[in-house]
Structure 1
Amino acid sequence: MNARALLLTLTLVVCHGTRADAGVMDKLRGLLGLGSGKGKTEEARKVMPRIRVGSFSGGTGSSARQTLHKELLDSREFFVAGDDEKADFTVEGTSVGGRVTGKLRDAKGKDLFQRSYAAPGLDENLKALTDDIIYTITGRPGLATSRIVFVSDVSGKRQIYICDAEGGEVHQVTHDKHAAVSPSLSPDSSMIAFTSYRSGFPIIRLLDVNVGWERGVTDTPGSSFGSAFSPDGTHLAAVMSFIGNPEIFVSDLNTNTAACVSDSVGAPSSPSWHPDGRELVFSSDDGDGPKLYIVEVPQKEGASSRLFRWRTGYHFCTDPEWSPDGRHIAFTTRTSGEWAVAVKPYPNGRVHVVQAGGAEHPSWSPNGHFITYVQHGELFVHDLRSGNRRSILRGYGRITEPRWMR
């Protein structure tokens, strides 16, 4: 057996059921003369905050400590230090009967927070603690408690489902007689806007995830589809056709009134909000393939807005979505006759094709580090920093239109 084959074998043994310690892998590479990889390991340790999972007392303390260690590793936000290594932060606490109290302190011993979590399940409480740790240290939202909403035909008809960021805890949220598509999650994940065909033509409905009630968005006649919640959750952008030609409208969810913000001659679709709530990007097809457009959302009644085409260099662009920081837009395009997910800096910059070969429907993670998309009916999460991707849900019918909560 040659050195590289031996390294692969040892790697599989070390990684079986757990994540290999970086120090162990460095030693293996050194012993086999393949280079230590020390430079990359040290670079990661310098760039990423170092956190130690300290002791957790209580009846479920040992399980809590192990699960929290895994959640922090899976977040890819930290270098998780060992007990004998220096750390920038330490988290410790107690866990009794699945309830968790966590305390985070910095290297100087200053307490950053102490919080209790009393959800029914231990895992749920530790996911919430993980996200609080991530936000406190990095200022970015964590993904442990985030959710992805998507469409699947696994039941025989297209319905809307929701899962966690790892593709687990899947459950069906609509049971529409005909079909339910094009979901959009409110910022707090309490409501889903979707397109229903129960009336024989597309119309947007709102579903309260917690209570289960549904209602329409407006009382206007005609079709409506392709909705997107505003960053503050008070408005909904959607395509409506009650004035004739379909246009992008913004509805006030408190008053059920709608105002037209586009003036196109084509067929608009897939609006997405800039994080500041002042602009929308959408796709529109005037017969020569869908292109992307930017429109300003009037902040006062009667105010004018500016509409312009945002050029990407591609002739076919749809499903745009702004990144959480507003600095990039992801969209679906075509390369070599196949669907592909691409990202372009806003307002200007070079397009980067994230995944070709049939990938489509991109949606950003709340921290902006990942994109979820579908490829051949399978749900993927793509790390934009490393370029690595992983399938999180497959064998669940044909999955389409994923949207990550913000």
Structure 2
Amino acid sequence: MTGAPPVTVIGVDADGRPPLPWAARRLAEATLVVGAARHLAAVPVPPHAARHMLGDVGAGVAAVREHAGPAVVLASGDPGFFGIVRLLRERGLAVEVAPAVSSVAAAFASIGLSWDDAAVVSAHGRELRRAVNACRALPKVAVLTAPGAGPAEIGAGLAAASPGVSRRMVVAELLGTPEERVTECTPEQAATREWADPNVVLVLATEVTAARGWSWPRRRVPYRWALPETSFEHRDGMISKAEVRALALAHLAPGVGDLVWDVGCGSGSVAVECARFGAAVIAADHDADQCERAGRNAAAHGVEISVVRAAAPACLAALPDPDAVFVGGGGPETVAAAAGRGARSVVVALAALDRVAAARDALRAASYDVGGVAINAGRFADLPGGATRLAAVNPVFLVWGHR
């Protein structure tokens, strides 16, 4: 294909607006036009051009690669935004792009809402659970959908095992066509309906507020983590110490799209820290007071977590599969139950050395690579006259397993 003209990728606007003048000239000159049936019907394909109806995307790209003359690829909206431009370039093709309005921009415009503070995730050919986790954790999310990974499936995922997290959904169907429909509903309502394709789903917190930003995407990593214990409400010092949380976070590696379990959550400090990184979090504890305390700590730090009042390990079977697990309370049975759910990492905090062997054995039995450390911290404390002493913190044994 050396010396071949670049492939022209034209974004098709559902409103039927013509492509940019230079792109219209490329279309008129094309000897091959590739696109979905609705795209081929929406633009004036020249009669001399061969048409390739896009079903299998790989076959469409192959047709473009094998074609000797000028080729045009038609795509929805902005083809450089979760679109075919990346695939064409990965196949070694030079491209020029004439974008239209992206479906995400059109969906937010349909409800008069700005979206520079929104996260955009794709469930099109990707893992649906990661998109649902992002919707659980973040207050404003647009989801690019596909048949089988659409509004009903997203609604069902949000409705399951998300106590304490309130979301509303906006489903924008057939944007820009005479059949366009924009529907606001609850996740439970979305799960019980049939929806027309194509569609875009917006998942919004009940109250969506955000400070004015200066970049997109916005920073998801907090400016500070392993916060001091004074940043959390806790009972009688029953809280994972900052030094423990710092190392636990390094091994949990929470982020957008992840689901983290905090088992035996206590005050919820680990759960809150993971949520500040953009992860969805389920915090479980058998103590009702601690569950309420964890919820208050989450609210104080501006994040949402799902809190489950139940004893481990029995409660874990009903939870959706995690990406990472922190076990702050419970015996080897709890560690084994958590490890059996396939998380990429499990971190266990123990106050007693004689429990370490059982935790390590449970992780090894589940085929994890196991490590650990004793954390003995001495914090600076002031003495009269400006001197400094070390104030010992109770030692904690941290055991981790990675796949």
How does the TM-score come out when normalised to structure 2?
0.25
Q: What is the TM-score when the length of structure 1 is the normalising length?
A: 0.25
Taking CA–CA contacts closer than 8 Å with sequence separation of 6 or more, which of the two structures ends up with the larger relative contact order?
2
Q: Which has more strand, going by share of residues?
A: 1
Q: Which has the higher helix share?
A: 2
Rg larger in structure = 2
